[in-house]
Amino acid sequence: MARKKSNRETIQCQFFKWKIYERGGVWQADGRSNRPSVGRHSLDTRDYLEAKSGLICLDRVCAVKSGLANPDIVDLANNTSVNITEGCKSFLQYCERDRLVGGAKPTTVKRYRAVLDKFQKFAGQNGMAKWAQVTRSVVEKYISWLSAQDYAERTRRFEAETVKRVNKWLIQEALLPNEYLIKLPLMKQQGTTTYCWKPEEIRAMLLYARDAEDLQWLWYVLMMLAQTGARISEACSLQWIDVDLSISLLHIRDESGSKQKKKEIRQTKSGKSRMIPIRPELSDMFKLMNHQQDPYVFHGPRGGRLKPDTVRRLLIKKVLTPLNDQFPTADGEIGFRDGRLHSFRHYFCSQCANQGVSEFMLRDWLGHADSEMVRHYYHLHNAESHQRMAQVNFLSSIQILNDQSNPELN
């Protein structure tokens, strides 16, 4: 829809300064204040965004006529007509190039595709077909549109950054002029809303899964997640060749650079392999497990390949729901019932941090290159917080509450 303007707007383009305004509902451009004057022109549209797109083309055409620019610049201006759908398709193809030259991981491309499919739907609903129409205000409107549909803050930020990333790539590929660069800083969310399990909650879940006849497979998985900080995708792809009980080490492999041709290439989020020490309790569990015909360590409830969604769904249904009354959550608060698979990673990091594991070692175990990402997982539960506070003596040897000579306290 056209954006209404009650007054003239002055816009400084690459070569000339223009005043744009509506006359009879059609946008006009007045460049007579320039020296030399470039006249007054109709932009032949009732849509404000299309008018701004046309103004850039007009500015360059006038620059060529005035001898200020090479005629080739007009061809570049015409590239502003790149279609949103085609632009998204080209960007995804660029991301799918070989990893050796900087291509993205398949999981990253999958996330980009989901975001851009959603953005194309939004653009269509708002009458936009060209990337030249995607401006800062459009991205802000898109963020508000996502917020109205209850998308989380991190999701909104990622989607807006993805749209900005496509915009920047189109400019780098000369499919959009530099004037179309979207300059919109986005606030980075501090902390996390992911619930971090408490030790008593972990114990209750493990005992519940261990003692239930149909949840033995889930007990195995939860035991590993709680004691290694591994992601659920890493647990699902773990193979027996990765478990070395002779030296008590677990190998989380990234096979992106492997020369071997496999149907499934295992990848980690960081793109790097890492080693995690195996605790005695976990080692004993591995010794109890039966090896099936396939190479994988963990299997689903029916003995097939373990899938993250199966673990997530049955964790909620078979464990969290039955234990919910044991760990009630106040209305409006985040508590036990809100925990998910990634909460085990938070728990692992929290316990390591609280019990003196060095940040460098913890970062190595988790596979994080940035120490800020490790600090993201540092949580002190209320019990430990009170314990630490009780150990701090702010008044030194001054026993104010026991001082009988203080009349104000008698």
104 vs 310: CA distance, rounded Å: 27
352 vs 337: CA distance, rounded Å: 23
Final residue of a structural domain among 81, 103, 120: 81
Residue 105 domain-assigned (yes or no): yes
- What's the average model confidence in pLDDT over 235-262? 85
Final residue of a structural domain among 126, 149, 180: 180
One domain, residues 349 and 307? yes
One domain, residues 167 and 217? no
Final residue of a structural domain among 180, 210, 241: 180
Residue 187 domain-assigned (yes or no): no
One domain, residues 134 and 95? yes
215 vs 317: CA distance, rounded Å: 12
**Residue 257: per-residue pLDDT:** 60
Residue-wise pLDDT tens digits, 26-84:
999 999 999 999 999 998 888 887 788 788 888 888 988 888 887 766 655 555 568 89
One domain, residues 306 and 215? yes
405 vs 137: CA distance, rounded Å: 68
One domain, residues 38 and 158? no
Q: Which domain holds residue 273?
A: 199-383
One domain, residues 105 and 35? no
pTM: 0.64
One domain, residues 342 and 212? yes
**Residue 95: per-residue pLDDT:** 95
Q: Which CATH number do you get for residue 311?
A: 1.10.443.10
One domain, residues 275 and 368? yes
Q: What are phi and psi of 274, to 5 degrees?
A: -155, 160
45 vs 83: CA distance, rounded Å: 18
One domain, residues 25 and 142? no
**Residue 262: per-residue pLDDT:** 62
Q: State both tokens at 36.
A: 């030399």
382 contact partners, CB below 8 Å, separation of at least 6: none
9 vs 5: CA distance, rounded Å: 8
Residue 398: pLDDT above 80? no
Residue 395 domain-assigned (yes or no): no
Burial (CB count within 10 angstroms: exposed 0-12, middle 13-18, buried 19+), residue 221: buried
Residue 77 domain-assigned (yes or no): yes
Task: State the pLDDT confidence band at 304, using cuts at 50, 70 and 90.
Answer: very high
Q: What is the DSSP letter of 410?
A: -
Residue 374: pLDDT above 80? no
Neighbours of 188 (CB within 10 A): 7
Q: State both tokens at 403.
A: 């001082």
CB of 196 within 8 A of CB of 350? yes
Taking alpha carbons only, the member of 231, 205, 237, 227 closest to residue 307 is: 237
Residue-wise pLDDT tens digits, 98-141:
878 888 888 899 999 999 999 999 999 888 888 988 888 899 99
28 vs 40: CA distance, rounded Å: 7
As a dihedral over the C-alpha atoms of residue 81, residue 85, residue 89, residue 90, rounded to 10 degrees, the angle is 10
One domain, residues 72 and 96? no
**Residue 399: per-residue pLDDT:** 56
One domain, residues 160 and 121? yes
Count of the separate structural domains present in the chain: 3
